[in-house]
Amino acid sequence: MSAAVPVHEGPLVIGVDSSTQSTKALVVDVATGAVVARGQAPHTVSGGAAGDGKESDPEQWWAALREALAQCEPYAPQAAAISIGGQQHGLVTLDRSGLPVRPALLWNDVRSAPQRDRLIGELGGFQAWAERTGSVPAPSFTVTKWAWLRENEPEAARATAAVRLPHDYLTERLTGQGVTDRGDASGTGWWASASEAYDEEILAHVGLSPDLLPRVLPHGAAAGTVQNLPDLPVAAGALVAAGTGDNMAAALGLGLRPGRPVLSLGTSGTVYAVSARRPADPTGVVAGFADARDAWLPLACTLNCTLAVDRIAGLLGRDREAVEQGGSTVLLPFLDGERTPDLPLASGLLYGLRHGTTPGQVLQAAYDGAVFALLTALDRVLDEDAAPDAPILLIGGGARGTAWRETVRRLSGRPVRVPSAGDLVALGAAAQAAGLLLGEDPAAVARGWATTEGPLYEPVQRDDAALHRIRQVMSGAQELLGRG
C-alpha cells in the first residue's frame, strides 16, 4: 500500500485495474482525486496444455481483487461506488452455476490465428469486417477464441452457459448482473460498431447464442450494487459502475480529448486517441474500439512490450536501464508472436551483430524494436486534423523507466509527457465510479483531478536512421517472420 492520505474531503470511490500481470485497486477521494489507499496482487499466466497459450484462472482474478482491496482497508469499506477496468478481449466461459468451465483464454494467446484467418475469409474479408465491427479481428479478439474453443475443446464450448470478458466477470461477481459496456464489447468481434449492438449474424456463424452474452449498458448506467459478500472489504449496497476495458479506462482516467495521443507500455504496448469519428481501418492495424463514453478509441496494440524487453535484459544479464547507444543492431522482440505487425507465428529476431556490438546496444535495440511498431501506428490513430506536435502521454508500468521514455522521445521526435499519477487504468475506473455517484461525465471528473500533470520532456531530433534500419530488417525478413 502506498503512503495513505489520512484525511479526505469528499466521498470515496474504488477504481480497479485487473490487467494481465496483476490487480491494482485504488481508493480515491472524489473531491480531489487524491489516492487514499492502494493495493496490488499478482496474477499467474500459464502456457496452456502444450505450453503454447496464455491462460489465467478467473477465480484468481477474484482472489487478487479481494487481496488488493484488503490492502486498502480501512478505506475500501467506506467507498460509495466501485468500478472495474480489465484486460480486454479475454474469453471467460462459465457453466450453469457461474463457475469457469476452463481457464480464460487471454488477449495475447495467438493459438486462434487459423480461426481468425478463416473468419475473415468466411465473412467477406478485411474491408467487410472493418465496416461491420470497426476492426479486422486479430487473434486477440474474443470471437476468434470462441471459434478456437469450439474446434479444439468442443465439450468445454458445449458446457458454456455464459460468456464474459474479464471485467464483466468481476462486475458480475460484485453485483450478480451479467452486464458489460460498449468499450469492452467493441473488442469482442461480435459487436457491430455501426449499430452499436451484438451482430447476430457473426454470432450465428460461430454458433454462439446472444443469450449467453452480457447486456451492453448505455454510457452512464449503473451495473448494480455490491451484493452481500462477507469476504470482500466493500460495503454491500455500494454502487457499481459498468466498468470497461483497461485502455478505455485509462482514456477516462486521462480525461482524454481528441488529438491527444497516448502510448501505454505494459504487458501490451498500445497507442490510441479519442475520436468523434467511428474508425474502420481495413488494413487491420488500427482496431476501431468504442470508448467508455459515447465516442471512439482507435487503437493499435503490440503483444511484446515490457515483458519482452525485460526478458531480453535478463538473457543479457543486464539491468533494464543498462542500455548503450550506437551500433546498428536490430532486434525484433516478437517473443510471443506479434499482433502489430500482424505476425502471430513470428519469434524474436536479432540482426546486424558486429564484433564491436555491446550487450547494452543489443538491449537498446530491443527497446527500439518494441516501440517502433507503436510509433508507426501513431498517425493512424490520430484524426487527420490533430496537431503533429501534441505531446505523447506516456503511461503504464514502463513509463516509469528512463530507457523506455528516452526511446519514445528519440524514435518519435515528439514531446513526451509522463503523468505523475500512476495507475491510470485504476484511476479511470475510479473516475467512472465517481461519475456514476455524482451523475457527471467521468472524463470531466478526471480532468478536475488534473491526472495528466507531470513532467514534460521536450522533443529531440528523431532518429530516422534507426527507424529505417528496423523497417529494412522487417521487410527483408517477412518470410521468416510469417513462418514462425
The residues annotated with a catalytic role in the active site are 246
Give the separation between CA 132 and CA 215, rounded to whole angstroms: 20
Q: How many residues sit close enough to ligand ADP to count as binding (CB under 6 A)?
A: 16
For the bound state, the minimum distance from the C-beta of residue 402 to ligand ADP, rounded and expressed in Å, comes to 8
Nearer to ligand 5SP, 371 or 437 (CB): 371
Region of 92-100, 227-235, 390-398, 470-478 interacting with ligand ADP (CB under 6 A)? 390-398
Instruction: Tell me which residue of 129, 142, 435, 130 sits closest to 292, measured CA to CA.
Output: 435
301, interface contact from ligand ADP, ligand 5SP, none, CB < 5-8 Å by kind: ligand 5SP
Q: Assign residue 327 a region: left if phi > 0, alpha if psi is -120 to 50, beta otherwise?
A: left
For the bound state, the minimum distance from the C-beta of residue 147 to ligand ADP, rounded and expressed in Å, comes to 25
**In the structure grid, which three cell numbers stand for residue 319, read together?**
539491468
Q: Which of 135, 160, 247, 306 lies at the binding interface for ligand ADP (CB under 6 A)?
A: 306
364, interface contact from ligand 5SP, ligand ADP, none, CB < 5-8 Å by kind: none
Q: Is 2 in the site for ligand ADP (CB under 6 A)?
A: no
Q: 323: helix, coil or strand?
A: coil
The distance from CA 26 to its chain's CA centroid, rounded to whole angstroms, is 18
For the bound state, the minimum distance from the C-beta of residue 417 to ligand ADP, rounded and expressed in Å, comes to 17
N-to-C CA span, the chain: 42
For the segment 236-295, give every residue that binds ligand ADP (CB under 6 A). Answer: 266-267
Give the separation between CA 141 and CA 144, rounded to whole angstroms: 6
107, interface contact from ligand 5SP, ligand ADP, none, CB < 5-8 Å by kind: ligand 5SP
- The amino acid at 201: E
Q: Is 18 in the site for ligand ADP (CB under 6 A)?
A: no
Footprint on this chain of ligand 5SP (rule: CB under 6 A): 19-20, 87-89, 107, 140, 187, 245-247, 266-268, 270, 287, 301
Instruction: Tell me which residue of 46, 183, 154, 182 sits closest to 93, measured CA to CA.
Output: 154
**In the structure grid, which three cell numbers stand for residue 136, read together?**
479486422
Q: Is 298 in the site for ligand ADP (CB under 6 A)?
A: no
For the bound state, the minimum distance from the C-beta of residue 299 to ligand 5SP, rounded and expressed in Å, comes to 6
**Which residues does residue 419 pair with via DSSP β-bridges, in sequence order?**
none
Give the separation between CA 366 and CA 312, rounded to whole angstroms: 7
Q: Is 40 in the site for ligand ADP (CB under 6 A)?
A: no
3-state secondary structure 370-393: HHHHHHHCHHHHCCCCCCCCCCEE
The residue ranges that bind ligand ADP (CB under 6 A) are 19-22, 266-267, 306-307, 310, 320, 396-398, 400-401, 404
